[in-house]
Amino acid sequence: MICVLAGGVGAAKFLRGLVAVVGDEKITAIVNTGDDLTLYGRRICPDIDTVTYTLAGVVNPETGWGVANESYTIRRTLIELGDTPWFLLGDRDIGLHMFRTQRLCAGKKLSEVTAEVCHCLGVPISVIPMSDSPVATKILTERQDGSLKEMDFQEYFVANHHEPVVRGVRYDGIEAASPPPQALSALGECDRIIIAPSNPLLSIGPLLAVDAIAEILRARRSACIAVSPLIGGKAVKGPAADILTSLHAQSTVTTVASLYREYCSSLAIDPQDSDESVQLQALGVAPLVTNLWMRTPQEEAKLAKRVLHG
């Protein structure tokens, strides 16, 4: 059994590659919930939904999130009513949020609803939220005049196009986070743990901040390999490079290794970053040099195979 700690788009593509190479072997994805939000009374779990839609084969291939061939009737109604919907939600996606919210209000756990959705959509792996209780990633940003403003994750990421300079990140609710027991048993019993190519501070950070998850990872460090989200020091998508620079001085695979060294014994890096292999070894993290681009299903599967088998 393989366990993957996952954020959104990069993790979903990696998981799709993994499914293509492992055949019947069981895969469990433990997914970040720090990006979750409530809008129009509906609970939205972007990273869980991105992984779910990707593995169900219905994801929008242009964005990497949301559903392919969506309609936007509800959004148009909101605009006609004078609302300014800053978070792009399609009709089918909203249907899922309605289902989830209804179930949560009826007393179901997020992990139960997620399993139900994955079963209905034919997702071939177990998708488990990192916590059944809400955790909210908060971003401390710097305004142009130098003053600081804390934003909700999606306010920073979507409404402000992840442009503000980030001065801090915290995970609200993390002390009370309740990782589903099946996530902890999967982590404890699996043969391999993989940290997906996701943002180390915004996507993987919340997972590692859950005490029970961090504790198992530390104990199972030798079974864990991480995949760098950086290629040539740059993020494939999103603000990882900017945030690593503002919070940790530089956006390099050495910085990624220093953030993960407690939890994993090796790090997959791209040939463009292989000149940092010596620094990784000095940190006690073995470099696995391999092409990290996932532009096609073939590249996704090739990366997954390399990460699994070295």
Residues in contact with ligand FO1 by the rule CB under 6 A: 7-9, 35, 44, 46-47, 49-50, 65-66, 87-89, 93, 154, 157-158, 203
Cα dihedral 170, 135, 224, 30, rounded to 10, equals: -150
The nearest distance, CB 171 to ligand FO1, in angstroms, is 14
* Secondary structure (3-state) at 78: helix
Q: What's the burial of 140, exposed, middle or buried (CB within 10 Å: 0-12/13-18/19+)?
A: middle
Q: Which residue lies nearer to ligand FO1 by CB, 95 or 310?
A: 95
The two tokens of residue 69 are 């061939």
The two tokens of residue 209 are 């901040």
DSSP string computed for 232-287:
TTEESSSSHHHHHHHHHS--SHHHHHHHHTTT-SEEEE-GGGGGGHHHHHHTT-EE
Handedness of CA 2, 237, 274, 203 (dihedral sign): negative
Closest CA to 11 of 238, 245, 242: 238
C-beta nearest to ligand FO1: residue: 8
Distance CA 78, CA 15 (A): 35
The two tokens of residue 174 are 């993390």
The nearest distance, CB 100 to ligand FO1, in angstroms, is 11
Place of tokens 């996704």: 300
The nearest distance, CB 63 to ligand FO1, in angstroms, is 7
Distance CA 66, CA 160 (A): 19
Cβ-Cβ contacts under 8 Å for 234 (sequence gap 6 or more): 241, 251
